[in-house]
């Protein structure tokens, strides 16, 4: 609760709302004690005195009554009626909601049908009907406003109660033989009250506005008694000649409702955990870049990543997702990038084209050279023209990565036309061709399907077809087969392999599966805690893994026909990347850890097998390799 107030205090606007509201409520409470003129005494000789007149700070109204005094008393009345309506609506609505939610079944059904019916009315119709039946008057307006808001509370509270009614502690209370009433009062109600209070805090502004509205229409408070709404209603006839009589009560309603809205927003924000984590911020079109020195291109590769560092800045924490990664890939080559979940593979891949969500992602160092041109920090338009045209992505889980509301054809056509302005019909023909090239049967019919109408394997083929749409030179495939079953996986892999051979595509293939690497990749880089720990030709690494982590990772893969082999899970968990240890990040999980492993930075060393490893005591020693 105190944390909640702290959060509220940090939200300056909410605090301002709280202060204004507090002041208004205090003034309203003190009104009878203040030295004010009698609000109802008319003085026809002093009609429409302007504000700041002697003896009438805010002037007088059409009957010569003191406006300041009327404003204070009117505010008092409006607040009282608004709060009363809120409390009545909340109490009755909550009672209905709790009964419906707690008993469920028929009771619930009948009650909620009734609530739905009430909600089928535009609220004012219902309020007008009630006032029409009961007759104009402030009390009747209050009843009408409260009644109109009951369904809102009933529906909200019912939802919460349904959740609570099936919790263990309620079952336990039942088993103890408690009566329903005792369970509702003792177990359910305490859990529902916070929700009721929040719902009230967000609706009380509305209720004040609605009662003021009914009074404005002449259906609420009747003369001489006046709330803010009826003051405004009476002043309306003199709007053009004496606008101050309208502005005074109108501005007061505005101030009250605005303060309540600010406060309500603050309360809502304070209670929304997503705001705290920053999960509601929107990712920019390109990842933010804040880097120092730019490493020069080493050699003329098609795509080379050098010293890439990508971090996530969440509040005061810095997560070093990628901590200095070097990769190169040549035409026709397939590079495997392998590692556990959270090792930084995907972030590395997304950094290349500036696709890391930002905020919170920031590229803090390194360079990505595509044909000698640095992509990190490149202007948006340059990156955009390369995205999909030169470097294309295939993502995991195509149900989430394809747009659910466009047909796959539309999405393919868009991919083509994003870079090559072609007539739609032509682009459509090309899209059908693409679908055929990824071996989708009935391509000319499937093109009009929505993603949810296709199987997982088919959707992934669409993802591949989309990546191929503009004949890119590099494809970055981020676990494209992880969500698929093995037979489909094999088909997709052989499809990618064919494409690479036919078109000379360079592929960066991200996976956590050594089987896939063995099947497809020429070279492989193993990542751990944001860095590459071993890198080299696939064959050499599969035959003689040098880094203890690589060896353990391979030992995790079960093999068919090797029935008696022990499956060795790696003990422990990878380190959290906001608190990386000194030295080797794998040290804590390594079976041959030495003291020096934990000191300083350990570089990548060349081994005679043609691989490079980041380890002081690699599994394959130089002498072994020579054998």
Nearer Cβ to other proteins (25/257)? 257
Residue from 388, 480, 545, 575 in contact with other proteins (CB under 8 A): 388
Per rule CB under 8 A, is residue 24 in the interface with other proteins?
no
Give 327's strand partners.
Answer: 305
Residues in 170-209 at the binding interface with other proteins, rule: CB under 8 A: 205, 209
Q: Name the pairing type of β-strands 303-314 and 317-329.
A: antiparallel
Q: Is 238 in the site for other proteins (CB under 8 A)?
A: no
Question: Does residue 224 have a cis peptide bond before it, meaning omega lies within 30 degrees of 0?
Answer: yes
Residues 206-235 that bind other proteins (CB under 8 A): 209, 212-213, 216-219, 232
The count of other CB atoms within 10 Å of the CB of residue 315 is 9
DSSP states of 458-485: HHHHHHHHHHHTT--SEEEEESTTTTS-
Residues 467-526 that bind other proteins (CB under 8 A): 469-470
Q: Does 9 bind other proteins (CB under 8 A)?
A: no
Site for other proteins, residues 283 to 302, rule: CB under 8 A: 283, 285
Q: 36, 124, 271, 318: which one contacts other proteins (CB under 8 A)?
A: 124
- Phi, psi torsion values for 340, nearest 5 degrees: -70, 170
Lookup: tokens for 448 = 């009009």
Q: DSSP readout, 550-615?
A: HHHHHHTS--TT-TTPPP-PPPS-PPPTTSPPSS-TTGGG-TT--GGGGSSPPPPEE-TTS-EE--
**346-385 positions binding other proteins, by CB under 8 A:** 350, 353, 355, 357, 380, 384-385
The token pair that represents 97 in the structure block = 């909601």
Residue 113 interacts with other proteins (CB under 8 A): yes or no: yes
Segment near other proteins (CB under 8 A), from 49-57, 117-125, 152-160, 330-338? Answer: 117-125
Give the single-character DSSP code of 136: S
Read out DSSP for 147-169? HHHHHHHHHHHHHHHHHHHTSHH
459: contact with other proteins by CB under 8 A = no
Give 258 or 490: the residue with its C-beta nearer to other proteins. 258
Contact between 395 and other proteins per CB under 8 A: yes
Of 304-312, 389-397, 508-516, 566-574, the segment contacting other proteins by CB under 8 A is: 389-397
Q: Is 393 in the site for other proteins (CB under 8 A)?
A: yes
Minimum distance from residue 286 beta carbon to other proteins (Å):
8
Q: How many Cβ atoms are within 10 Å of 349's Cβ, its own excluded? A: 24
Answer yes or no whether residue 419 interacts with other proteins by CB under 8 A.
yes
CA nearest 350: which of 504, 479, 460? 479
The CB-of-135 to other proteins minimum distance in angstroms stands at 8
DSSP assignment letter at 569 = P
Token digits for 606? 């060349």
**Bond into 537 cis (ω within 30):** no
Query: Distance between CA 367 and CA 373 in Å, rounded?
Result: 9
Is 130 a binding residue for other proteins by CB under 8 A? The answer is: yes
Our CA angle for 356, 360, 365, nearest 5°, is 65
Q: Is 110 in the site for other proteins (CB under 8 A)?
A: no
Residue closer to other proteins by CB (options 122, 194) is: 122
Q: Cα(431)–Cα(128) distance, rounded to whole angstroms?
A: 58
26 is a contact residue toward other proteins (CB under 8 A)? no
Q: What is the C-alpha R_g of the chain?
A: 35
Please say which residue, 298 or 452, places its beta carbon nearer to other proteins: 452
User: Which positions from 246 through 285 interact with other proteins, judged by CB under 8 A?
Assistant: 246-247, 250-251, 253-254, 257-258, 261-262, 265, 279-283, 285
Q: How many residues bind other proteins (CB under 8 A)?
A: 82
Q: Is 466 in the site for other proteins (CB under 8 A)?
A: yes
């Amino acid at each position: 609760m105190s944390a909640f107030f702290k959060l509220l205090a940090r939200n300056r606007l909410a605090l301002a709302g709280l202060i204004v509201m507090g002041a208004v409520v205090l003034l309203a409470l003190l009104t009878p004690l203040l030295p004010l003129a009698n609000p109802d005494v008319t003085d026809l000789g002093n009609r429409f005195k302007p504000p700041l007149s002697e003896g009438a700070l805010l002037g007088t109204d059409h009957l010569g009554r003191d406006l300041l005094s009327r404003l204070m008393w009117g505010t008092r009345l409006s607040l009282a009626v608004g709060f009363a309506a809120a409390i009545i609506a909340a109490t009755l609505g909550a009672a209905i909601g709790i009964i419906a939610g707690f008993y469920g079944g028929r009771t619930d059904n009948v009650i909620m049908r009734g609530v739905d019916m009430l909600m089928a009315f535009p609220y004012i119709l219902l309020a007008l009907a009630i006032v029409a039946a009961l007759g104009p008057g402030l009390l009747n307006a209050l009843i009408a406003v409260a009644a109109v808001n009951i369904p809102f509370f009933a529906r909200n509270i019912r939802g919460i109660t349904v959740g609570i009614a099936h919790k263990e502690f309620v079952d336990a209370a039942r088993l103890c033989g408690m009566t329903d009433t005792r369970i509702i009062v003792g177990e359910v109600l305490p859990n529902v009250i916070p929700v009721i209070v929040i719902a009230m805090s967000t609706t009380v502004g509305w209720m004040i506005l609605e009662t003021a509205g009914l009074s404005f229409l002449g259906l609420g408070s009747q003369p001489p008694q006046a709330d803010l709404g009826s003051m405004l209603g009476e002043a309306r006839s003199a709007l053009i000649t004496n606008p101050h009589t309208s502005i005074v009560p109108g501005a007061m309603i505005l101030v009250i409702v605005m303060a309540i809205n600010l406060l309500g927003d603050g309360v809502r924000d304070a209670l929304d955990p997503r705001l705290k984590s920053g999960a509601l911020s929107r990712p920019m079109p390109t990842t933010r870049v804040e880097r120092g020195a730019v490493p020069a291109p080493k050699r003329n590769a098609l795509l080379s990543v050098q010293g890439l560092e990508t971090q996530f800045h969440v509040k005061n924490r810095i997560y070093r997702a990628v901590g200095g990664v070097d990769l190169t890939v040549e035409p026709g080559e397939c590079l495997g990038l392998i590692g556990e979940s959270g090792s930084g593979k995907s972030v590395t891949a997304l950094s290349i084209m500036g696709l890391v969500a930002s905020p919170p992602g920031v590229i803090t160092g390194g360079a990505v050279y595509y044909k000698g041109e640095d992509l990190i920090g490149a202007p948006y338009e340059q990156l955009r023209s390369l995205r999909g045209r030169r470097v294309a992505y295939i993502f995991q889980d195509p149900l989430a990565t394809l747009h659910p509301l466009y047909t796959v054809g539309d999405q393919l056509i868009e991919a083509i036309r994003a870079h090559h302005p072609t007539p739609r019909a032509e682009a459509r023909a090309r899209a059908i061709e693409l679908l055929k090239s990824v071996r989708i049967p009935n391509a000319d019919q499937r093109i009009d399907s929505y993603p949810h109408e296709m199987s997982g394997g088919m959707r992934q083929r669409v993802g591949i077809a989309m990546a191929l749409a503009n004949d890119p030179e590099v494809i970055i495939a981020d676990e494209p087969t992880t969500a698929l079953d093995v037979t489909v996986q094999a088909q997709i892999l052989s499809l990618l392999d064919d494409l690479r051979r036919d078109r000379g595509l360079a592929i960066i293939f991200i996976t956590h599966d050594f089987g896939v690497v063995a099947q497809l990749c020429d070279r492989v880089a193993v990542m751990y805690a944001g860095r590459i720990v071993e890198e080299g030709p696939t064959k050499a690494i599969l035959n003689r893994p040098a880094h203890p982590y690589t060896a353990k990772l391979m030992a995790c893969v079960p093999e068919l026909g090797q029935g008696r082999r022990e499956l060795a899970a790696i003990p422990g968990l990878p380190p959290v990347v906001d608190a990386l240890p000194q030295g080797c990040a794998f040290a804590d999980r390594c079976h041959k850890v030495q003291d020096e492993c934990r000191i300083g930075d350990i570089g990548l060393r060349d081994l005679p097998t043609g691989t490079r490893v980041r380890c002081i005591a690699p599994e394959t020693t130089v002498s072994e390799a020579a054998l």
